[in-house]
Amino acid sequence: MKILLKFILFFLFAITQHSFGQEYPTQADKERYISYLDSSDNNIHGQGIDAIRFYHITEAIPAIEERFWQKNESTQSLYLRVLVELGASSVESFALAYIDSADNDTSDWALLKKVDATRELFLIGNFSTINYYWEWLEEYKNGKYKPDVGFLHALPEIIRNSPSPEDVERAKAESIYYVQNSRNEGVRYTLITSLANIYGNEMIPLLLEISKKDKSSGNRYAAYEELVKLNYSDLHNYTKERLYSESEPLYRSNYADTLLVRFGTPKDYKYVSDYLNQEPDSEKRDWIKIGLDVFEPVEPDTTFPTSDMLDTLTSYTNQSYGYDWLKDEAYKNELVTKLTNAKTKLTSGDSLSCRTEVVAFQNSVAQVYADSAGSYPKYISNEGYKFLFYYSGYILDRLPKPAEGLPVKPEDSLLQSSSLKHNNKKKRK
């Protein structure tokens, strides 16, 4: 932790210097940082290493190589990592020599030294000493080397780059095992995301398991995010399930947001709206309410046919009526008729007449919504307005406008009235 804090402070210092227009490091700075490697003061030595890594000072490679064998084992391990990061061509020879030096060590640390260097060799694509890694893993499973779970992070590297199919399959099996059984949250996270990235849909059953059962809420959500990336076929229903079953308030609000932003049908809006009063965390309840307030229906991508968009809007109209967001059945039927006529015109190739029908639909929605606070028998709620007005706007964006110079129809003139369009965006409860 102290090392991490020191590196963070160094990083902030460097950014501060850049913000004042100073260029770092200068050649003198580089030489000074490299000279810190000779310091017997661990703090000064550490500052030198931090700077070399942060600034990627490749000029330090000869100095590190020259001092490598003068340092203790802990510093040698660090130097190996720095040589890898700097892209030194000597990494392989130093790592193999470091492994050989461990043969004279009779303590329990000998194998750890070999695995430490082996892990660095993995990073440069050398898997010649992988047997030490498997030896360590067996002893780790038997209860030794518990503090060294960091070595488990090397399993994805084996899967991605090892030339041996047997080693790849073993690393895959071990990764799945530790996703399910490791007590270390960071290890589980690394392996969850790596397996999903490497194997894709094959990992969906494991991701479903982890997203439900992992002790870490962060890992549960990480597994869910991988399902999103993989476009899991039942993601819609699964997101609804997670909204009610997740114990972490932050992620419940994220699931609610996903239902609105990714799917965003009237049924999703109603589902989240119904859930709102059941959310026990007041802060997240406010977040979800904001999401409902600013919601606009999802706009299909350009591959979604305009005729299908008209079908969707018809469905939204019927659903709005079913949810009492739109009242008066005769009025609902009037709106559906306009959409039916629009589709008929579109199918026959008359897109301008189709536009006229959709404009009439949208203007009617806007007018009724504006009058819905009074005693007008027709009624459209804020929720109904969101779906019917904005989605019809998406359709109009697809349809051609009357050619320039031709008379504008009254319906189009009404639509272009910015005062009407913006006034109807006000929120109603």
Weakly modelled stretches of the chain, pLDDT under 50: 1-4, 16-22, 404-408, 410-411, 413-429
Domain edge (last residue) among 28, 58, 89: 89
Please give the structure tokens belonging to residue 39: 């310091």
Asked if residue 328 is part of any domain, the answer here is: yes
Query: Cα–chain-centroid distance for residue 107?
Result: 44
Please give the structure tokens belonging to residue 73: 């084992």
Residue 369 makes CB contacts below 8 A (sequence gap 6+) with 380, 382, 384, 385, 389, 424, 428
pLDDT at position 374 is 60
Collapsing DSSP states into helix, strand and coil, what is residue 26?
coil
* Segment 93-133, tens digit of pLDDT: 999 999 999 988 877 789 999 999 999 999 999 999 999 99
Asked if residue 352 is part of any domain, the answer here is: yes
Instruction: Specify whether the CB–CB gap between 170 and 134 falls below 8 A.
Output: yes
Asked if residue 133 is part of any domain, the answer here is: no
327 - beta bridge partners?
379
Tell me how far apart the alpha carbons of residues 401 and 410 are, in angstroms, rounded to a whole number.
13
pLDDT at position 281 is 96
Domain edge (last residue) among 66, 89, 112: 89
Q: How many CA atoms lie within 13 A of 277 on its CB side?
A: 2
Asked if residue 273 is part of any domain, the answer here is: no
Backbone angles phi, psi at 380, to 5 degrees: -135, 125
Domain span holding position 338: 306-423
Instruction: Specify whether the CB–CB gap between 339 and 317 falls below 8 A.
Output: yes
* Segment 224-239, tens digit of pLDDT: 999 999 999 999 999 9
Asked if residue 120 is part of any domain, the answer here is: no
Nearest CA to 306 out of 353, 351, 265, 359 is that of: 351
What DSSP assignment string belongs to 33-89?
HHHGGG-S-HHHHHHHHHHHHHTT-GGGHHHHHHHGGGS-HHHHHHHHHHHHHHT-T
> How many other CB atoms are there within 10 angstroms of residue 197's CB atom?
14
Asked if residue 188 is part of any domain, the answer here is: no
83: left (phi over 0), alpha (psi -120 to 50) or beta: alpha
Q: How many CA atoms lie within 13 A of 117 on its CB side?
A: 26
Asked if residue 222 is part of any domain, the answer here is: no
Asked if residue 128 is part of any domain, the answer here is: no
Instruction: Specify whether the CB–CB gap between 109 and 132 falls below 8 A.
Output: no
Nearest CA to 212 out of 242, 184, 240 is that of: 242
The answer to pTM > 0.85 is no
What's the number of domains the chain is made of? Answer: 2
Which residue reads 């329990």 in tokens?
Answer: 108
Which residue reads 């709206």 in tokens?
Answer: 273
Rg (alpha carbons) of the chain, rounded to whole number: 32
| Long-range contacts, 196-199 (Cβ 8 Å, 24+) | 196/223, 196/226, 196/229, 196/230, 197/226, 198/156, 198/159, 198/160, 199/172
Domain edge (last residue) among 89, 123, 153: 89
379 - beta bridge partners?
327
pLDDT at position 422 is 39
- Is the preceding omega at residue 147 within 30 degrees of 0, hence cis? no
Residue 340 belongs to what H/E stretch? Answer: helix 329-347
Q: Cα-Cα-Cα-Cα dihedral of 304, 308, 309, 313, to 10°?
A: -150
